[in-house]
Amino acid sequence: MRLFLFLLLVGLPFSHIAADYDLVITGGRVMDPETDLDAKRNVGITGGKIQNISEEALSGKRAIDATGLVVAPGFIDLHQHAWDEESIRLKIRDGVTSVFELEVGTANVDTWYEKYEGKLPFHHGVSVGHIPVRMKVMGDFPSFLPSANSKAATVAATPEQIAAMRKEVRKGLESGAIAVGFGIYYTPAASHWEILEMFHAAAEGRASCHVHLRGRSETSIETAEEVIAASAITGAPLHIVHLQSTGGKMTPKLLQMTQGSVENNLDMTVEVYPWTAGMTEIKSAIFSDGWQESFGLDYGDLQWGETGERLTKETFQKYREKGGLVIVHSNPESVVTQAVAHPLTMIASDGLKGHPRNAGSFARILGYYVREQQELDLSVALEKISLMPARRLENRVDTMKNKGRVQVGADADLTLFDPETVKEAATFTNAKQPSKGIPFVIVSGTIVVEDGEIVEGALPGLGIRAGK
């Protein structure tokens, strides 16, 4: 009792004095991108929270010797599409502790969360998506993306249908959707007014709009202007996805537009992924007549995800009829490097099966861009893959204020990696190889990767929802 009263007087939680934590991490290089802590420390974890960060020795029921390892906030991926078991295992081994589907999203928020409840090793969340909502309102059969000849892709909505879409978006936000997702390139029949109305709905819920621009490369400037204007008009926060993939050679100008928007107090953020090729559905409207001129590419620049083969005119036509995922080799490394290194960009994988970004985007940042190319300082890289994504969401989602940080009181979502060996193993011809040099991943204080291997049955991931 005297000890309890003493702790109250000095303002310390009991856990700071307690002899044993649930888990202690000893001797690691603890790095917190928000406070700039970068020092050898011991970390005490109890109840899924960081309770102590100390130079003094700590004792716990379990201990991890982190000598030679960086103890970093768990990585946060705002853009993931593949949720099959194989992709989930690859993602957690890439050090990701919170995963979100915020571009395409869902039309049924409650159903989405129910599907994954208690089944994932990482935290997870979803947006209410304009694409699936448009398909629902237009009467299309549900699918990941609308096909090129679907109503969702080709038919202009009536005022009544736009009102119905806005109602569905509002309903999804009321159900706790993290954000509002847009893939305007896949719904070219959606008018500027329709998109503006969805931004209005997002603004009502203080939700960020995660947008795949309407056009790419040469047209990306004007299509960026569309959503920058929508954000300015409505007050909805704007987040442009995979800027380098959409922008192509216009990426430097899009980055200038982003810089100017932020300097003039627009709530705007952007994400990029560290690969020279994209990936998408071959049956989508992106590959309608004129795609070669639009992309500045030809058939040989396309690679079939399942087999790794480069396409010809004949195989392109065959696969377009069949449907499936195709890799699009569209960017020089110089553009990607500039995008990754820009101070306003954060990293998100846009994870899809058959592309190495699904397995190794975060390890690639740490291995290739930090260690090998020295294009990023390690602390800056950690900010891009943890703190910046958390900050993008935290105005609507309180839970995110405790993520992306290694601080007392923060959630114990941590990634321990070896800065000398961390590296992606996945390639464009072998996309299913797990990342290297990430021996421990911890989610809510539970070890889910131990000595580089998945801990079977460890499923501490929680559904992250706004207002829940």
Per-residue model confidence (pLDDT) at position 10: 42
Phi, psi of 119 (to 5 degrees): -120, 0
Percent of the chain as helix, strand, coil, to the nearest 5:
40, 25, 35
Q: Give the containing element (helix H, strand E) for 101.
A: strand 96-106
Structure tokens, 301: 């620049």
Count CA atoms within 13 Å of residue 258 on its CB side: 26
What is the DSSP annotation of 57-82?
--EEEEEEE-TT-EEEEPEEESBB--
Beta strand extents in 241-353 (DSSP E only):
268-272, 277-281, 302-304, 325-329, 345-347
Q: Domains in the chain, ordered, with CATH?
A: 2-73+408-454 (2.30.40.10), 75-277+331-402 (3.20.20.140), 278-330 (no CATH)
What's the pTM value of the predicted model, to 2 decimals?
Answer: 0.93
Per-residue model confidence (pLDDT) at position 1: 41
User: Cα separations (Å) of 224 from 46, 179, 227, 238, 261?
Assistant: 45, 19, 6, 10, 11
Measuring CA to CA, which residue among 72, 65, 66, 100 is closest to residue 370? 72
Contact 359, 432 (CB under 8 A): yes
pLDDT digit of tens for each residue in the chain (468 aa)? 443 333 434 444 444 444 599 999 999 999 999 999 999 999 999 999 999 999 999 999 999 999 999 999 999 999 999 999 999 999 999 999 999 999 999 999 999 999 999 999 999 999 999 999 999 999 998 889 999 899 999 999 999 999 999 999 999 999 999 999 999 999 999 999 999 999 999 999 999 999 999 998 889 999 999 999 999 999 999 999 999 999 999 999 999 999 999 999 999 999 999 999 999 899 988 898 888 987 788 999 999 988 889 999 999 999 999 999 999 998 899 999 999 999 999 999 999 999 999 999 999 999 999 999 999 999 999 999 999 999 999 999 999 999 999 999 999 999 999 999 999 999 999 999 999 999 999 999 999 999 999 999 999 999 999 986
Residue 167's DSSP bridge partners are none
